[in-house]
Amino acid sequence: MAGHETHYTLDLPKFDKPAKVLIVVAPYYKDIADNLIAGARATLDEAGVAHELIEVPGALEVPTAIALAHRQSNFDGYVALGCVIRGETTHYDTVCNDSSRGLTLLGLQGACVGNGILTVENRPQAEVRADPAEMNKGGGAAAAALHLIALSRKWSAETKGVGFRPVGSFQIAGDSEGPASV
């Protein structure tokens, strides 16, 4: 079962203008997915953030669906949900690694993604992590997406120059008309 470690949780960010989040879930283990969704929705509702839900066949399709939405829609952030339970083959490793890598790459490209795809050894671990009254990993993924949206908005509001600016004026040799324009 899950440990009883305590950890610090950031307060949910506040938004001056509305935010819209897409929840993408792979409901392979439907009961676990439903708990993850409940936790994510509760967190988004608490923050006053609009959200939509779509389902995809499996965890490997979650990054692709988010990439499509990021390119073709108007969502501010994304919550990736699903569960991968270790089986008898190496398929578990492929699904865990590739879904995580896909989500990480999306984040590095500017998508605000909260990763709530559980990667566990057995069903009891998944049940505890998905349960909103227990570890609430769906709510944690939603909170992560919200924090990234807040950072993105904070930094997109700041402006900085592109290139360089001349410090003073200078004159090009042989130019008698005064300082050069840059």
- Known catalytic residues are 91
Residue 138 tokens, joined: 């769906």
**What is the end-to-end Cα distance of the chain in Å, rounded?**
66
145: closest CA among 35, 60, 37, 44? 44
Residue appearing with tokens 């899950």: 2
Contacts of 86 (CB under 8 A, 6+ apart): 92, 120, 121, 122
How far is the CA of 111 from the CAs of 47, 68, 87, 145, 148, in angstroms? 19, 11, 31, 9, 9
Task: Report CA dihedral (49, 19, 146, 61) to the nearest 10 degrees.
Answer: 90
Q: Which two tokens stand for residue 81?
A: 């949900």
